[in-house]
Structure formats: structure tokens, C-alpha cells
Structure 1
Amino acid sequence: MTATHSVSRTLAPQDILRLRSENPKSRERDFAQANGITEADYVAAHVGTTAIRLNVDIAAILNGAETLGEVMALTRNESVVHEKIGPYEKVSVGPHASIVLGKQIDLRIFPKAWAYGFAVEKTDNEGNIRRSLQFFNRAGDAVHKIHLRDNSDLAAYDALVAQLRSEEQSQTVETRPAKQTEPTDIATVDVDGFRERWTNLTDVHQFVMLLRDFAVSRKQAVELAGEEFAWELEAGTVESMMNTASETGQPIMVFVGNNGCIQIHTGPVKEIKMMGPWLNVMDPTFHMHLRTDHIHSVWAVRKPTKDGHVTSLEAYDAQGEMIAQFFGERHEGEAERTDWRELVEALPRLARSVAA
């Protein structure tokens, strides 16, 4: 999933607070970017007033989140914000990955990327206090946020913050830019061997090992796969697909992530609205805000499994990073939905052939 690329400069906490007082209405993330700092720098500057530093203990965070009742879970990257409303349920914590498998909130969490945590309180325009738990990677980019709602359990939240509260309440964080790996020269890849491995996949989860073994990115993989398994689509196909799914009512899966968390919506999408470049989903328990002008290419991708091939729609930015990934609703051991496969296969292909 898409990696964010922060550029941080040295700005003392008091300077951040002063600049903020001069520009109080800007969104936090926009303010941080405009002033050359990271969002984690911005939040840390408020420690002692509206923020509390937390220990990043994934097990305590996720198990504690289960006690909060209904909340809003937010995961984003540079191009899309994914919000799900509901309780944290069915938490499973592991050393390399943790999972939340609730009906509404469905997460894959990669703990090594989580570096900083804060409990944040802010007062909205109506004078209401809005509380959230916010977590950032070493680069200072947000990996996941948990926002309380009117019917969340405030006592459970206070108890969780007290449990997680760090002895270190500094107003600064030591951020460093995300490591940028040099891309593999695609001309050096054994294309025949790569396509043979792709053909012999029996589970979508084997795809990560395929990428690792051939040292290629997801974008390079779809370019190498050949048109039997991947083909590029015309611009605007994400919006077209979402509108069709809305009209037909067919359930889909929407994956959005960063290096620390992948968040998944499963179910229908109903209320689709375009506002400028933003494609917005405004359903009761699912909100998405996607910058369509960040989409550089869209691919339809087939991966073989023991239950038949699985089709995804994948949007990439100009750097080749994945923005979002879409599937038809599917459960382990089930064949892919026919209506989803037909929807994707009917989307217009790019006129020129770009497959290797």
C-alpha cells in the first residue's frame, strides 16, 4: 500500500504553537505540510495542553479499543482516507502482524511501523470535546487513528489512556524520512519464471512471497504479469466501478493502507459523491475520500487460487505506489462473485498494450 513521504524541518514546539495560533482553521495535516513539519511533530507540540504521549503497546491498544464501544477507525495514505464506524471486535495480536476482524472494523496491523502514540482532545466549532487516539510511524506520518463518537465509552477511554500514558511527555519527536528502496531494474527480472510462479499461485497471500522472491514492487508485478493476469484500464474506471457497484448493490471490498495498517470495508457502497477531484463515499458506517487526480494508472489483476482466480482493481499513483485496491466480497474457500468479475471485465481497457 501507499507509503507516505514526509519532509521534516527543525521547528521548535513553541514556534509550531505560535504558527498554529495564526492559522487556527487549517486541517492539522494540511497545516503540518504547509509548515514543513510532520503531523507527529504537530501533535507532539501540543503535549501538556491537548495531547498526552502514549506508549505504543499494540496488544494494550487493540484490546483496550475493544472496550470503547462504537468508534470511528481511520486509516489513510497520501491519496485516500478510509473511515469505518463500529466497535473493535475479534482482536488477534501477533509479533509481526495483528488483526481486527469485526463486521465493521477490519484491520491488518504491522506493529514494527508504529513509533509514536498520542491521546488528543480538541474542541470543535460547537464547543464539543473530540477525543482520539493517534498513532504515527517513524517518519511522522499517521498510520491509524481511533476517534471517539457520542456513544463511545468515555470511562473506558480514560482508563485506556491512563494505562498507556508514557512517563516521557516530551513535546518533540525524532522523525526520519521513510527509507526509499531502489527499484529493481525490470529488465533483469526472469519474466518467464515470474509468470510461471504467478500461474501456479493457489492463494492470494502467496503473492507477497512472489514479490519478495523476484524483488519487484506491486506495480512492476502487474506490468510483468502479461495480459492473461493483468491489464491496464482507462482513466476514470475507479469512479465508474464505484458507481456501478452503488447502482447494482453488489458488495465489494475496499482496501486502503500504509506501511503500518491496512483497513478494509466489506459490503455495499451507496452514497457516492464527486466534489472536485475527491471521490467520496458517505454511507452510514463507511466513509472514503479519494483524490482521483492522484491516480496515475488503474489495473485489473487476476490471481489464481484453489477456488478459481480472484480479480482486483488496483489504483496506483505517479510513483507506482498503490493508492487503493478493490475486490468483490469474498470469503476464504469461496469462488469469486460472478457479478464482480463481470463488472471488472467490462471496464474499458487502455487502448495501447502496456503489458510486458
Structure 2
Amino acid sequence: MTETPRPTPAEIRAFRAENPRMRERDVAAALSIPEAALVAAECGLTAVRIDPSANRLLERAPELGEVMALTRNESAVHEKIGVYEKAQLGSFASIVLGEHIDLRVFPGPWAHGFAVMKRDGDLLRHSLQYFDRHGTAVHKIHLRPASDLAAYHRLVDALRIEDQAQTLDWDLAAPVSDGGADVDVAALRDAWSRMTDTHQFHGLLRKLKIDRRAALNAVGEDYAWRLETGAVEAMLRASAETTLPIMCFVGNPGVIQIHSGPVAQIQTMGPWLNVMDPTFHLHLRVDRLAEVWAVRKPTADGHVTSLEALDAAGDMVIQFFGKRKEGLAERPEWRAVLEALPRLALTEAA
């Protein structure tokens, strides 16, 4: 099978100039290139290649002051306004535990980094953008009016690398696995019942060699039950009405970004479900949610219940919990909200 010729940097820039209103991801899709190739084509013009090391960024990010942190996957965009604080760095995983910016960072997938300048009317907007080896966005930092622009330029100078090529080599995405169709239900339920912490769930899946979707479908309704797609919006609106503090997780292989606290401004626009609060913005494509689940996991503090939405490939799009402190039981108000959400009829699930 012959690969379609990749557009040159000049062709990429020409297409962008002809379509100034198109969003970056739409331009990349139209050209059959990843978003990182779109950014790379601007090197020497409006972009600078920088060291893609996640930990080098986290060491310096607090210097920027107030910024907007953005983490996304194909169906959800999670934006938090705040300061990068209390970073704990590790080779496999790092943590940022700021008052507003709360991240779990996995440095391995971070492959390309860019400092980007973009003209927006009379304004010149600055950002730091990171991508994986497939050219897919991992994490972005957008400067705001209160950000320290001088610190940004110092950071870019420190992280600038010698290679400033306008071309980008990227790896094609791996084929989607079926996740293991055969599930030993007895073993799954036994391992599930023995959990004492929600973080043990990933190890459980690895040990049994199944994916999340297979586990949710097999474990039984005492631990996981299907909900209607509209349950996500219903949960957000119910939480907003009662100012119930929640936790919202959106991630990709390189970062998981977390909001903890109440939500207030819930809006819909076409297929997008949005939260538009002062320091937290969420944009969720509800039309891409293939399965929505309420999931109950045992912990040392009692059962903890989550709302989890998967896409057609079985990948996690977004996950919600009731906000709680370690060592405390789950809020009964959160449990009540989830248990009242509309369940998917068995005929629909089939």
C-alpha cells in the first residue's frame, strides 16, 4: 500500500493561510498530518523547537506564574487556570499538586516540544506545546495576561534545542487491540472484591490481561452498571445545583489532568457539553461517548463510585469521582447522584 505523499512545510503554511478560520486540529486532519507537523512547519517563523522533557518543563513552569494548563484526548479538553506548584519529579511519573493545577505526568511519551507564538488580532499569544511520537498533543501551557512573559522567554531560551527543522517524522498509531475477549469472570470478581485502593485497578487489568471495557462488561452490576449517554450531563447539572464538589479526570498517555471542586456553568453547544467556570473549562464531545458506566470499587475507606465514559475504541474519555480526602468515606450525596442517573436498558446495551 503506497503512503500518500506528506505535504511540505511550505504547502502546510500555504493551506493554513488559505484557511485562516480553521482550527489547528481541523487543518491537520484536512492535510492528513498530525498536529505536531503543523506546528513544526512554523519553526523559524512563529515556533521554536524546545526540549520535550516533561520534567525540565515542570522544574521551570512555576516561574511563569498564572497560566492555563490544557490536556486533551480525542473527545475531551480539560483546561485549568492557575500556577504550577508542588511538583514531585520522577523518571516514570511526576506529580503537580497546585491549588488549581493538579497533574499526573508520565514523561515517557513526551517526544516533541515547541514554543509557539500566535497572532490574535492585536494580541500576540504565547504557549508551550508538547506532543508524543505520533504527533498527537500531550500537554499545552497557554500564557494569560497575568503570566510572566519575561520568564517565558528565559524558559524558551533555556530549553531551545539545536534542531529547528520544519519537518517532522512521526510514528503511525498502533492498531487497536481487542482487549482480550475471554474474561475469567470468577477471577475478575475475586480480584475486584479484594481491592483496597482505586489505584490498584490498573494492576488488576494488567494481571488478568484484559482492558477496562471488557472488565466493566463482565464484572456484574453490583460493581459496574451501564448508564445512558445523557448521564454525564445529568450528573454535572445535579452537582452544580447542589454545589457538590467533584473530581474530573481527562487524560492521554502522557498526562492526566484533574479538577477538584464544584462546577457551576454547564452549557451545551451542538455535540459539545461544556463547563465554563472561572478557573475550570471542560469541553466534551458527547456524541463520541460509546459507553457510560457507574463503577463501584472497594477501598480501605469503603466503596468508591465513579462515572466513566469510554469511546468506541474502549479508551477512557473522561472520569468523575466525588471529591473526598484520603482516609474518609465517599460522600453520600455523590453516591445518591450516581445512583439516580438513568440506566441503560438491557435491550439497548445489547
TM-score range, shorter chain: over 0.9
Match of 1:21 in 2: 17
Deviation at 1:8, TM superposition (A): 8.5
Match of 2:315 in 1: 321
Match of 1:222 in 2: 216
Select the residue among 308, 328, 334 that pairs with 1:334.
328
- Taking only the aligned residue pairs, the percentage that are identical comes to 57
1:86-122: CA deviations, max 9, x gaps?
0001101101011101110001111111000000001
How many Å separate the matches in 1 of 2:62 and 2:86?
8
**What TM-score, normalized by structure 2, do the two folds share?**
0.97
Please say if residues 223 and 355 of structure 1, whose CA atoms lie closer than 8 Å, have aligned partners that are also in contact.
Answer: no
Match of 1:45 in 2: 41
Deviation at 1:319, TM superposition (A): 1.6
Please say if residues 223 and 354 of structure 1, whose CA atoms lie closer than 8 Å, have aligned partners that are also in contact.
Answer: no
Q: Which runs of 4+ in 1 moved over 4 A?
A: 353-356
Match of 1:3 in 2: none
Between 1:161-170 and 1:314-323, the stretch displaced more is 314-323
Select the residue among 143, 147, 150 that pairs with 2:145.
150
Q: Does 1:287 align with 2:269?
A: no
1:194-253: CA deviations, max 9, x gaps?
110000000111111001001111111111211110000123000100110111100000
The code of the aligned residue for 2:36 comes to A
Between 1:198-207 and 1:344-353, the stretch displaced more is 344-353
Q: Does 1:298 align with 2:292?
A: yes
Q: How many residues align?
A: 348
The code of the aligned residue for 2:127 comes to S
How many Å separate the matches in 1 of 2:99 and 2:292?
28
Select the residue among 96, 99, 103 that pairs with 1:103.
99
Match of 1:251 in 2: 245
Match of 2:6 in 1: 10
Please say if residues 180 and 209 of structure 2, whose CA atoms lie closer than 8 Å, have aligned partners that are also in contact.
Answer: no
Select the residue among 76, 79, 88 that pairs with 1:83.
79
**RMSD across aligned positions (CA):** 1.6
Deviation at 1:182, TM superposition (A): 2.5
Q: Does 1:343 align with 2:337?
A: yes
The code of the aligned residue for 2:191 comes to R
Please say if residues 180 and 211 of structure 2, whose CA atoms lie closer than 8 Å, have aligned partners that are also in contact.
Answer: no
Please say if residues 80 and 289 of structure 1, whose CA atoms lie closer than 8 Å, have aligned partners that are also in contact.
Answer: yes
The code of the aligned residue for 1:31 comes to V
How many Å separate the matches in 2 of 1:61 and 1:9?
34
Deviation at 1:316, TM superposition (A): 1.1
Deviation at 1:167, TM superposition (A): 0.6
The 1:327–1:8 alpha-carbon spacing in structure 2 relative to 1, beyond 3 Å, is farther
How many Å separate the matches in 1 of 2:296 and 2:178?
23
How many Å separate the matches in 1 of 2:348 and 2:222?
13
Match of 1:193 in 2: 187
Q: Does 1:183 align with 2:183?
A: no
